[in-house]
């Protein structure tokens, strides 16, 4: 026999041997069994009150109002550009 066919047979045997395992098909060993103390009507009443009081707005979706400022945008940009030119603020690859 050829070496390739021996390796192929060994690989196939290893793959098939790990596939077949006997177990229950329904997985009943993992089922959680419990008994509730509340009635169905109590649960339904609580569910109705939760939906009435719940907000549909996602958390953190509100945008903060813009802050009032006395500075002009053009002046701030000019000052930043001057600071970069004078080397007070690193820019580009030098900022690392």
pLDDT band at 19 (very low <50, low <70, confident <90, very high): low
Give yes or no for residue 91 having a pLDDT over 70: yes
pTM, rounded to two decimals: 0.30
State pLDDT tens for residues 46-80. Answer: 888 877 777 777 777 777 788 888 999 999 999 99
Whole-number Å distance between alpha carbons of 11 and 7: 6
Residue 36, φ and ψ in degrees, nearest 5: -85, 155
């Amino acid at each position: 026999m050829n070496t390739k066919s021996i390796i192929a047979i060994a690989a196939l045997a290893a793959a098939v041997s790990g596939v077949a395992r006997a177990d229950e098909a329904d997985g009943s060993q993992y089922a959680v069994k419990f008994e509730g103390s509340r009635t169905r009507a109590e649960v339904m009443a609580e569910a109705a009150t939760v939906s009435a009081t719940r907000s549909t707005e996602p958390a953190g979706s509100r945008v903060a109002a813009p802050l009032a400022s006395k500075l002009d945008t053009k002046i701030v940009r000019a000052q930043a550009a001057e600071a970069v030119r004078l080397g007070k603020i690193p820019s580009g690859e030098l900022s690392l």
